[in-house]
Amino acid sequence: MNTGSPDAPNEDALRVYLKQFLMDPFVVDMPFPMRYALIHWAILPKRPAESAKAYKEIWTENGSPLIHYCTQLAKGLQTRFSEPVELGMAYGNPSFKQGIEKLLDAGVDEICLLPMFPHYAMATFGSCVAGVMTALKKRAALRVVPPFYLDPTYIRPLAESLTGVEEHILFSYHGLPERHLKKTDPTKSHCLATDDCCETDSPAHATCYRHQCMETTKAIIAVADLPKERCGVSFQSRLGRAKWMEPYTEETLQKLPSLGIKKLAVICPAFFCDCLETLEEIEIRGQETFMEAGGESFRMIPCLNDSPAGIHCLETLMADAANWPSA
């Protein structure tokens, strides 16, 4: 399961998709009347046209890159397992609800859900699990592959993709409102209480997106044997006026050349597949920002996508989960 894309890169399709995405209480976590008002009055009048323009920049003859890569990955996985594999998106098509019905029609009595998000976030992993549990209505048992932010099958190929990269490396992760980090802290006192909370052991880290992103960064740096001073972290894709995790990628890209960093490579390890957020926000707009601020070269490191390493990673995660005792 992944987030999903609009059916087409046009305003009408974007309105449908954005409404479904942003009315999800796991994404915009406000009481219904406030969420409804914000989405319908502040976001839906303008954002569909803006987002349609962005999607047009990355749309290919195969449609949305995200859906294309996920479809190829699901096909690849199906060649590795005798049990049926279905792809389902949280928003848009193919929907996870259709996927569940297809699996039930095929007679399965247990479903293994693989949210294609390396890190836990209420807006992604949390929403997928809740959506599937509600739609499944206990018609089959469910097991869920946990966040795989440190899994060697994910870390190793990303580290290898940095081989020979001599530039400064920016690890740009999708951001979250800080409010989400506090909300999913089970201790209610750890996350963001101190500057170094993510470095201090805590049960909160099982659901701390920031901690998990930092761990992924450290693991890739260690496996790729990169000098730490040549690496930085930032958070992208901020939406709305609330405070999101900092530093923001856009501001970082603007600032780096003035610090003498003129050659840059960007890797986006929060994304299993390249999508709007990597291809348009970083590779197109981010590159422009960096070069206009005085940068000399900009290189985008691809996500695992439907590479053999990508299929191997998902296959291993799925096989490991299938070996756990039944729930």
Ligand X SMILES: C=CC1=C(C)c2cc3[nH]c(cc4nc(cc5[nH]c(cc1n2)c(C)c5CCC(=O)O)C(CCC(=O)O)=C4C)c(C)c3C=C
C-alpha–C-alpha distance, residues 26 and 273, integer Å: 22
According to the annotation, is 277 in a ligand binding site? yes
Strand partners, 231: 169
Q: Which is nearer to Fe ion, 160 or 199 (CB)?
A: 199
* Smallest distance from ligand X to CB 28, Å: 6
Point out which span in 142-150, 219-227, 269-277, 296-304 binds ligand X (CB under 6 A).
269-277
* HEC secondary structure over 160-222: HCCCCCCCEEEEEEECCEHHHHHHCCCCCCCCCCCCCHHHCCCHHHHHCHHHHHHHHHHHHHH
The structure tokens listed for 288 are 């422009």
167 or 283, CB closer to ligand X? Answer: 283
Which one of residues 111, 275, 304, 313 is an interface residue with ligand X (CB under 6 A)?
Answer: 275
Q: Which is nearer to ligand X, 6 or 232 (CB)?
A: 6
| Separation CA 117–CA 129 (nearest Å) | 12
In the β-sheet with 297-300, what is the strand arrangement from edge to edge? 231-236, 168-174, 263-267, 297-300
By CB under 5 A, the residues from 146 to 205 that bind Fe ion are 191, 197-198
Residues 166-195 that bind ligand X (CB under 6 A): 174, 176-177, 180
Q: Which amino acid is at 169?
A: I
- Cβ(28)–Cβ(132) under 8 Å? no
- 270 scored as a contact of ligand X (CB under 6 A): yes
Q: Which of 208, 220, 224, 266 binds Fe ion (CB under 5 A)?
A: 208
Phi-psi category of residue 164: left, alpha or beta, with phi > 0 → left and psi -120 to 50 → alpha: left
Site string for ligand X, 112-151 (x = CB under 6 A): -----x---x-xx---------------------------
Match 């995405």 to its residue by tokens: 21
Q: What is the DSSP letter of 207?
A: G
Kindly state whether residue 51 participates in binding ligand X, applying the rule CB under 6 A.
yes
As given in the structure block, the two tokens for residue 122 are 């209420």
Exactly one of 24, 167, 185, 277 binds ligand X (CB under 6 A); that residue is 277
φ/ψ (deg, to 5) at 231: -125, 145
Cα angle 281, 151, 102 (rounded to 5 degrees) comes to 75
Measured between alpha carbons, how far is 163 from 165 in angstroms, rounded to an integer?
6
Nearer to ligand X, 1 or 22 (CB): 22
- Position closest to ligand X via CB: 275
The Cβ of residue 77 has, within 10 Å, a number of other Cβ atoms equal to: 17
Least distance to ligand X, CB of residue 326, Å = 29
The reply on whether position 161 binds ligand X by CB under 6 A is no
SS3 percent helix, strand, coil of the chain, rounded to 5, is 50, 10, 40
Q: Does the annotation flag 215 for ligand binding? A: no
Of 20-28, 95-103, 226-234, 245-253, the segment contacting ligand X by CB under 6 A is 20-28
Q: Which of residues 247-276 bind Fe ion (CB under 5 A)?
A: none
Q: Which is nearer to ligand X, 73 or 121 (CB)?
A: 121
Binding residues for Fe(2+): 174, 277
Which spans of this chain sit near ligand X (rule: CB under 6 A)?
3, 5, 18, 21-22, 27, 47, 51, 64, 66, 117, 121, 123-124, 174, 176-177, 180, 239, 270-271, 275-277
